[in-house]
Structure 1
């Protein structure tokens, strides 16, 4: 085919102008330096004005946690990678002037076409991995909020018991102190009361600091200012934990827990990269059309096929194949280690729950006995047949057992929160897609998960 050089030059100019017209334009995005902490719980997205129950807290955390907001930006990165992986490289065009020996030509890399499916497969699985990793971060953040919720409520119950014990001990200390000033008691009688009162005040101060820290941490998870008041319900409504069901479902845990799902998508992505590295052993072949110029009076060009190919004598991508295979082996072992650790953690928490439940059951009759004795003591003290010191001792002993029960209940609830986080009870759910062989995969891009 013979074309004039003038026509060829015009064609290249038009193609160049069209390519420039389709380019993206730059827009400056200034950093926002203002903190975005909410001053009032009622202003939280999803509503936080009334006493918050655990199920409501889960929703508030997902909607308002600043770290989750930042992490969700990675979803756009995954989508962009899928788009990029599905785009072929542009053909290469070259032109020289004057067209005496060689004229314009267009070349397309064949290997890029062969690698298109594997690149897209790797990018799609990497995007799904990002989504699953974000969901695992949501699970962990919800778990932290639940744990703080349980600890704050248990701490408030403990604080009330400490306050009651302090009241009794303070009354006894004041009585003994008056007796000593009147010469009816010695310093040795006052000393135990002073030590017990001091220990209780120290425990109260420590708990107050701990409660403040817990509330500030919970505020931070919700994007609230440190001093914002957050009203919590009086009891946690944790999802029911069925130990037998959890043990039965351990076999399918890898298909449901986001961190394990993310590792599987990461492994699939790396497996696609192994295939890509193997296919990259295909010689770098470019085909197209090229032209040869003439020096006759019409200044014309003659077009014909043109092929260039690398000779795979030294570099057959041995290094690339070895690197991707080693990376895949690392991910294989990392997944096995993670699922083994997950199974072990769940088993350990289930055993701990059994122990704590047994200890709580053993405490119940002793606490019941202490309550009955305290009731009789209170009646005797009101009738004047029992001295105040004995009455206070028995009441403080009862309150100590009450605090012991709260401690066991708190430990049980903390374990239930841990189990719920590990198995996903009440959490946003995910299921991994079936892993199809390379020939059965769809060619087009997909939305992650």
Structure 2
């Protein structure tokens, strides 16, 4: 067919068609190719987990897969938070959004490709004086050039928003892990106290039961010992259930196997409660979710600008060369223009402006929520300090009194009811003090999470 066309139009038409066939082949050599990426149903094993933990702890790649990782040494909540950011499966999936945002920035900066159009009209009888007609046109749409800058600003601002959102989720996961670590640390202390009390009451009850069997104790004394042992045992089992649940939650947050037991280090606590106004100012300028909302609002501002530009007519320019069946050859420019008569992009403009107003209201609401949350946490810390201070002074005195009365009760110098009253109250106040310290430590971690900065940087950011 190419030879037939060439006989009527000349050798250059054949060259044009040859170029038309060669151009796609030339472009394909620089195009991306498709590769499958199957899903992975297998979870990482302990070797992979240990390797990632070693990388986080030592800040360098492990020498080999058999490198020992010391998980038996006590770890701080900060270290556990870093491990959670590294190992948490939800965060690993969320980080893939950054690649999508970067690809959108790349796509927004690309120029539109020109369009090449080829056509031919072949008369069925070439000996009658008719020629083969053809048309060659090259056009380029300029509409996207006017909105390219806005599209690029949208993609860049959206990419910043995604970066901030992912970083904010990492911050949340790290601090939630720290809260769980502090909760587990103090619950283990409470469980130890309850276990010791249960062991003591169990020993007293067994001795009293044996004395009752021999006739050396009364039923009243033995029953009181039994009730004290049952209460201590119930308290110990309840705390053990809490410890197990929090340990599972901590391992889940860090992406560790449920059965793993992580030793914990005592948390670093604030000596004084900071000023609320200073913390609010820090949160306004450093919280990553607020920065993400600002970046998203900037992207929406660019969308409004792009919608406004979309009301103007878009046009396409081009040039074409053609020949009809009479072999009359023509060449000339072309221009196609959209007429903004009814639509004028008014729907898109209204939608983008309404979305901008919604984002503005969402940012204001988040700002108000942040300030209220910080104020409430600071007030709770002040209240907890007022409750902890007298207990720290009185609990040691109650424990000393309990030890003295224990010996006196063994020698029958005080009644068993008096001793059990002091013992149970001393135990309850000791557990109450540990629970208040736990709440104080958790509230401090929650306050750091609300501010968006570690407390070590609060004084340096004035």
Where on the TM-score scale, by shorter chain, does this alignment land: which range? 0.7 to 0.9
> How far did residue 153 of structure 1 move?
0.9
> CA 1:387 to 1:175, structure 2 compared with 1: closer, same or farther past 3 Å?
farther
Deviates more, 1:377-386 or 1:144-153: 377-386
1:357 paired with 2:385, answer: yes
> CA 1:302 to 1:276, structure 2 compared with 1: closer, same or farther past 3 Å?
same
Give the alignment partner of residue 23 of structure 2, picking from 11, 15, 23: 15
Give the alignment partner of residue 91 of structure 1, picking from 114, 120, 123: 114
Deviates more, 1:277-286 or 1:385-394: 385-394
> How far did residue 42 of structure 1 move?
4.8
Residue aligning to 1:55: 78
> CA 1:278 to 1:241, structure 2 compared with 1: closer, same or farther past 3 Å?
farther
Map residues 153-168 of structure 1 onto 2, 5 A cutoff: 153-168=185-200
> CA 1:394 to 1:41, structure 2 compared with 1: closer, same or farther past 3 Å?
farther
SS of residue matched to 2:46 = coil
Residue aligning to 1:143: 175
Gaps spanning 5+ residues in structure 1: where?
430-449
Contact 1:39/1:228 (<8 A) preserved: no
Deviates more, 1:107-116 or 1:393-402: 393-402
Deviations 1:338-390 (A, max 9, x none): 11111111110110110010011132333243134235435646877456664
Residue aligning to 1:264: 294
> CA 1:164 to 1:384, structure 2 compared with 1: closer, same or farther past 3 Å?
same
How big is the alpha-carbon RMSD for the aligned residues of Structure 1 and Structure 2?
Answer: 2.8
Residue aligning to 1:80: 103
- Structure-1 separation of matches of 2:367 and 2:11: 66
- Structure-1 separation of matches of 2:163 and 2:355: 21
- Structure-2 separation of matches of 1:362 and 1:40: 49
> How far did residue 8 of structure 1 move?
2.9
Map residues 24-423 of structure 1 onto 2, 5 A cutoff: 24-38=32-46, 42-43=50-51, 44=53, 45-47=55-57, 49=70, 50-98=73-121, 103-183=135-215, 187-233=219-265, 235-238=266-269, 240=270, 243-295=273-325, 301-377=329-405, 380=408, 385-386=413-414, 390-423=418-451
Gaps spanning 5+ residues in structure 2: where?
1-9, 58-68, 123-131, 458-462
Contact 1:145/1:221 (<8 A) preserved: yes
> How far did residue 141 of structure 1 move?
0.6
Name which one, 1 or 2, has greater alpha-carbon Rg: 2
> How far did residue 22 of structure 1 move?
2.5
TM-score by length of 1: 0.86
Aligned length: 424
Deviations 1:161-210 (A, max 9, x none): 11122123223333443454445665455444433332322222222122
Contact 1:291/1:301 (<8 A) preserved: yes
Deviates more, 1:299-308 or 1:146-155: 299-308
TM-score by length of 2: 0.84
- Structure-2 separation of matches of 1:207 and 1:374: 22
SS of residue matched to 2:56 = coil
Deviations 1:34-90 (A, max 9, x none): 111437975424245222122322222222222211111111001001011111221
Deviations 1:96-138 (A, max 9, x none): 1139666111111121000000001001111111110111111
SS of residue matched to 1:96 = strand
Contact 1:3/1:300 (<8 A) preserved: no
